[in-house]
Amino acid sequence: MRVLLGVTGGIAAYKVATIVRRLMQDGHTVQVVPTPGSLNFVGRTTWEALSGRPAPSEIFESAPGVEHIRLSQLADIVLVAPATADFLSQLAHGEARDLLGNILLATAAPIVVAPAMHTGMWQNAATKSNLKTLRDRGVHVIEPAVGQLAGEDVGVGRLPEPDHIVDALYAAAKGEKIPTTVDGDHCWGDLEGVRFLISAGGTREPIDPVRFIGNRSSGHQGFALAEAARERGALVTVVAANVFLPLGENISRVDVETSVGLAREMREVAPDADVVIMAAAVADFRPVTVSANKIKKSDDGRLTLEMEQTEDILHSLVKARRPGQTILGFGAETGDENADVLEHGMEKARQKGADLLIVNPVGEGIGFGDVSSRIMILDGKGQQVAAAEGEKMTLAHAILDAVVELRTKGGKKKGSKVRGWVGGAR
């Protein structure tokens, strides 16, 4: 399928890079046409690198080639994301201020728009009128999500997650009704006031001043959980083990390196948390002794290290839990000759004693890093209660949906005020 992807000048434009990558991975051709204003948010080089094609924005960039007509005829479907209030007005009134506007006037392909703007603009009578006009003309509109907007405001107008937009695009291409927004599956504010403590990343256990024993965990899933929980109203603290990623506003962050440091910080904050999620990958072993100097190469070309087990932090948190506290663990698994991933996860769930265990297969191209993954959510008895597949933010919301359901059944819908806990920080 040949997808023409229009990008307009909203701050949510950065999310659209993931949409391009997903469409390319699914085998489609993507032609990005950014508006001139959108290039203030994401540069042309990014779109060209992701799509492998030029990303024109001006009508006169290729005047002899009549670019707007050529591109309008090549497209099987058109997606505009994010679609700003100004661009929706332009489209509704048949204006052609730039290359993208001209293409949309000329194309016969189905058009899908994903609006993103401040709540006030979304609820404005002019915007509502423009959307009605577009819908009456057959334009497919993906309803915006509810959550954190630019600045400190929260409300409807947020660009939905890329996976949801791609699913809606595929539905429109088939002539099907596009799915409702992700907010149809969970409610904004369903975690209002709930205090979350989330570990993320992977510990490093030093061998000498230069070397360490570590793992491939990047912290993407833990950070996605933190962002998703904050969007749903939670107060969030993250203990990050060697994570080199930015974290959103109003989330408290504590950085650590080793399993000892991670255990210390988790124990410090856990008593005041309503929900504790151990998403970090903790090294199972560490050297018994750490050399004060860099270890030199030996004559026989070998190095022997004596190792000892590290603390099972999840098990310790479960043992020390206070009444009413919800605890989740993660189990990164690979199958072997004895059992498959799910079977290993079921056994781990029964051993750990957490309320939920998130089992995720790991390996080449799955699990670690900013890649699509799949999870199975097990209860404390090892029974599967849910499953999900997709990008990290999609998985994060699936996990939080399970948390909400669990806490609702237990009569623990909201958090309570804790002295000293401000915006997720103690």
Residue 183 has pLDDT above 50, yes or no: no
Question: Which residue do the tokens 């909203």 mark?
Answer: 10
Contact 21, 43 (CB under 8 A): no
Residues with a catalytic annotation lie at 215
- Domain membership of residue 420 (yes or no) is no
Main-chain phi, psi angles of 167, to 5 degrees: -60, -40
* 334 and 399 fall within a common domain: yes
- Domain membership of residue 426 (yes or no) is no
Confidence at residue 185, expressed as pLDDT on a 0 to 100 scale: 43
- Among 120, 149, 184, where does a domain finish? 184
What whole-number distance in Å separates Cα of residue 110 and Cα of residue 114?
Answer: 14
- Mind listing the pLDDT tens digit for each residue in 227-269? 889 878 899 999 999 999 888 778 999 999 999 999 999 999 9
Q: Is 164 helix (H, G, I), strand (E, B) or coil?
A: helix
Nearest to 362 by CA among 338, 332, 340: 332
Question: Which residue do the tokens 């992807």 mark?
Answer: 5
- Mind listing the pLDDT tens digit for each residue in 50-61? 999 999 988 776
Nearest to 115 by CA among 86, 146, 83, 88: 83
- Domain membership of residue 415 (yes or no) is no
Contact 71, 33 (CB under 8 A): yes
- Domain membership of residue 229 (yes or no) is yes
- Mind listing the pLDDT tens digit for each residue in 19-50? 999 999 999 999 999 999 999 999 999 999 99
Reading the block at residue 414, the tokens are 């909201």
What is the domain count for the chain? 2
Residue 405 has pLDDT above 50, yes or no: yes
Confidence at residue 127, expressed as pLDDT on a 0 to 100 scale: 93
Confidence of residue 422 (pLDDT cuts 50, 70, 90): very low
Residue 380 has pLDDT above 50, yes or no: yes
Question: What mean pLDDT value characterizes the chain?
Answer: 87
Confidence of residue 409 (pLDDT cuts 50, 70, 90): confident
Q: Is 135 helix (H, G, I), strand (E, B) or coil?
A: helix
- Domain membership of residue 423 (yes or no) is no
Measured in whole angstroms, how far is the alpha carbon of residue 161 from the centre of its chain?
8
Residue 278's domain spans which residues? Answer: 195-409
- Among 140, 165, 184, where does a domain finish? 184
* 107 and 242 fall within a common domain: no
